[in-house]
Every structure is written in structure tokens, then in C-alpha cells.
Amino acid sequence: MNLLSNFMIPSGFEKIRERHPQISAKVKELERIQGHHYKNFYIPALALIHRSCRYGPEISNERLEFLGDCYLNLIITESCMNQYPTWEEGQLSRLRAQIVGTKSLTQVGCDIGLNHLVVSAKGALPDHSKAIADVFEATIAALWIDGGRDKAYQWVRKLFDSQIHQPLLSLEDPKSAFQQWVQSFAFTPPHYEVVEIKKDNHLYFIAKVFLGDKYIAQGTGGNKKDATLAAAQAALELKLQGKISSEDFDIEIHHKD
């Protein structure tokens, strides 16, 4: 089934054009940014509408953002595998997490001007970075739907080519990378609790990483070292995706001014 057929213009959409007359100009600017003229105006317009406008679930970019997140992960995964044919799954996973995290998407989105295209209710963006990242993912889906896979692939790959070739963090030792980040704001280092699991004659280990008393993430491995590395990797991915920050931890562990 053609995805384009699933995006029929809902009743009430014309009222949005009346309430937000600037949306036509924003779509034209998106077309310039992506190098694509849309056949269906509704699709790129929908990609720019933040849920704070409260027009209902059918008139916001949430569904396109969900789809664009899948497309982005597919494109970046394929690109990383092609670029690094000898890398193991863990290294590829860490690189992908760096690239598709909220911080990375927000930075690239601002670099190309998507931050000026978000259509939202006035003063209704408590997390502006998340809104930009969501719009970015929604516009990937819009381009894929209207322009096809190849055009979306080429656009995304061009934007992230430098990050694919020059990773932002060390990908070899997630424990060291995570500890370096923690040391930038806290006296207390992260610590790990490891449990040995025996099931059906199979032995494996589960490691949980904490900062202070706060649980952060966990990982599984065939030995204690691999389990703690997996836990650190999971914590790094949360950090890179913007799901944890230094503000999430108790003040007692922070550096004193």
C-alpha cells in the first residue's frame, strides 16, 4: 500500500492555514532545505505542527515523528554498517545512539533552520530541543512518503556524514566515556551491581549502574566485564538521547561551587 494514500487531508485542516498563515511560507522553506517540491502540501505542513497546538491527534506531527524515527534509525544503521564493515554490534549501536540522540538531532536541526519552522501554540514549548528533534524526524518521514526512500536516504546521509566519519565520543570503552561525563559534574563515580543468573544450564550476568542511590540503566553479558560494559553503554545511550542529564541526580553528589 502506498503510504501517501494513508495521509488524507482531515476536516478542519484549512482552518489551520487560516490560523497559521505563515505555514505556507514554512513549507516552502522546508522544500528549499530538503531540495524537494512536495506533491501533497498537507504532508510537510503536518510534519511542522507541534502537538501543543491541540488540534487533535490527526493534526500534529506525532505520527510522522514516530515513522521518521524508524526511518532515521534504518538509514543511520545501514550507513554505519557500510562505513565500518569490521565493527561489532556494540560499537555500531553506540555510534548510532550518538547520531540519533536528541542533542544531535537538535543541533543539526538548528544548523539547517528547522528550529524556525516549528508551528506551536505560543509559549507552549517547555522542551524546545525535543520539539526540534521531533520536527526533524517528522520531516524525514514526510520526505520519504512524498519523495521516496532514495531522496530521504540521500538527505539524511548528507546531514550526518561528518558524524558517521568522525564520532563525537570514544566508541571503544563505554565505561570510561560514561565515567568521564559523570566526573564533569559529580564527585561520586558511577558504581555497578552485578548479579549472576543461571537458567537452563546457561550462565549470564546482569549489571546495573547507579550514580549515588539513583538507578540509571542495566546490561547483560556472558561475564561480569561484558555485563558492566553493556550497562555503561545503555547509560550512555540514555544520556545521548537526552533522557538523563546532570540535573537528574541528587545535589549531594554534585561538585560544590
- For 130-156, write each residue's pLDDT tens digit: 889 999 999 999 999 999 999 999 999
Question: Are 111 and 20 found together in one domain?
Answer: yes
Place of cell 555497578: 192
What is the model's pLDDT at position 167?
A: 63
Q: Which of 65, 134, 137, 237 is catalytic?
A: 137
The yes-or-no answer on residue 69 being catalytic is yes
Examine the domain organization and report whether 43 and 154 are in the same domain.
Answer: yes
Of the listed 65, 69, 134, 146, which one is catalytic?
Answer: 69
Do 240 and 134 lie in one domain? The reply is no
Q: For position 12, what pLDDT does the model report?
A: 64
pTM exceeds 0.75 for this model: no
Rounded CA gap, 137 and 145, in Å?
13
89-100 and 62-83 are packed helices; what angle lies between their axes, rounded to 10 degrees?
Answer: 140
What pLDDT does residue 42 have?
Answer: 87
Domain that holds residue 179: 174-253
Q: Are 80 and 91 in contact (CB under 8 A)?
A: no
Looking at 141, 165, 189, the residue that finishes a domain is 165
Looking at the 3D structure of the chain, how many domains does it have?
Answer: 2
Which residues of the chain are modeled with pLDDT < 70? 1-12, 53-58, 121-127, 167-172, 200-201, 251-257
Please check whether residues 107 and 182 belong to one and the same domain: no
- Domain end among 135, 165, 195: 165
